[in-house]
Amino acid sequence: MNLVASDTRTALTEALKRRAREVEHALDVLLPLPDGQEKRLIEAMRYAVLGGGKRLRGFLVMETASLFSVAPACAARVAASVEMLHAYSLVHDDLPAMDDDDLRRGQPSCHRAFDEATAILAGDALLTRAFEVLVDSDTHSDSQARCELVAALGAAAGARGMVGGQMIDMVSEGTQLSAPEVTRLQALKTGRLIQYSAEAGAILGRAPPQQRHHIAAFGRDLGAAFQIADDILDAEGTEEEIGKTAGKDAAAGKATMVSIMGLEQARAHAAMLAAQAANYLASFGDRAAHLVALTDFVVSRRS
């Protein structure tokens, strides 16, 4: 790695840590404290969302919001909200009825640390809390902006987004999907929430349509590159590196870009998507430096 590339990577690592601290502080404040008869539920919610993770989605909200000079406290609420929704998806995905995984973020998954019923409820409560945070006037003074955030998150997470992608994934197990079919599946299951996270900053900042379009396109291509990188990690990463069971896609007969094109071509495809994502940020100049560096990070990460 040359010196400029190494400085850029160090600056990104610092920015990721700083943003993660801001998002985790917001999560801590926005989640209820464990007491009363609901104590166990709230403990499970906090376990699921405060127990690590890269905070990639929260980072995207914070960084795109900063392009439009949004108050960091408002952006942190939206970042915390998307991390709650993301944590719910992981809790439910790990359940025996879905992916049946005992390990998440290097720790026992929520249903292993608590129990299945509590994990289902914790996921439900995280999902609903995510929307409750968005509609609060502390998130944005303009109710139109709050409505747009709710509509965009609902669309990204629902039947034509993440949950729809999960369903397609389940019904396709053991079948040979084509590259366009895998692309669509992954765009729904993973891509839409990542795209939303990027776009949320533009919504908060009341960005003009052309800039919002560029941010959305950046998020879409970044999300696609991220998922292919995840498939590569599943194929060749260790359990210690990725903090979850490795090699699950091949064991389940899941079609991924790795199973379709092989490791090397999948790597090249992810790199092409990451470069394409970075190109959409050209008009923001140096203010988007962390986001540009992120496009490289998502395809070279080891966890």
Q: Which residues bind ligand GRG (CB under 6 A)?
A: 53-54, 56, 86, 89-90, 92-93, 98, 105, 162-163, 166, 189-190, 230
Amino acid sitting at position 151:
A
**Residue closer to ligand GRG (CB basis): 166 or 195:** 166
Alpha helices, DSSP H only, in the chain? 3-30, 39-50, 56-67, 72-94, 110-113, 116-135, 143-157, 162-172, 179-186, 192-204, 209-236, 239-242, 248-251, 257-261, 263-279, 289-300
Instruction: Give min distance, CB of 161 to ligand GRG, in A.
Output: 10
Instruction: Give min distance, CB of 35 to ligand GRG, in A.
Output: 27
Q: CA-to-CA distance for 110 and 244, rounded, in angstroms?
A: 13
**Residue closer to ligand GRG (CB basis): 86 or 146:** 86
**Residue closer to ligand GRG (CB basis): 68 or 109:** 109
**Residue closer to ligand GRG (CB basis): 196 or 284:** 196
What does DSSP assign to residue 32? P
What does DSSP assign to residue 34? S
Instruction: Give min distance, CB of 251 to ligand GRG, in A.
Output: 14
Instruction: Give min distance, CB of 141 to ligand GRG, in A.
Output: 30
How distant, in Å, are the alpha carbons of 68, 167, 177 from that of 64?
Answer: 7, 30, 34
**Residue closer to ligand GRG (CB basis): 212 or 230:** 230
Instruction: Give min distance, CB of 37 to ligand GRG, in A.
Output: 26
Q: 192: Cβ–Cβ under 8 A, 6 or more apart, which residues?
A: 155, 156, 157, 161, 162, 165, 223
Q: CA-to-CA distance for 86 and 80, rounded, in angstroms?
A: 10
State residue 139 phi and psi, 5-degree precision: -75, -40
Provide the CB-side half-sphere exposure for 188 (13 A, CA).
Answer: 17
Closest chain position to ligand GRG (CB)? 53
**Residue closer to ligand GRG (CB basis): 146 or 192:** 192
Instruction: Give min distance, CB of 190 to ligand GRG, in A.
Output: 4
**Residue closer to ligand GRG (CB basis): 50 or 74:** 50
Which residue in 200, 229, 207 sits closest to 299, CA to CA? 229
Token readout for 192 is 């839409």
Instruction: Give min distance, CB of 252 to ligand GRG, in A.
Output: 11
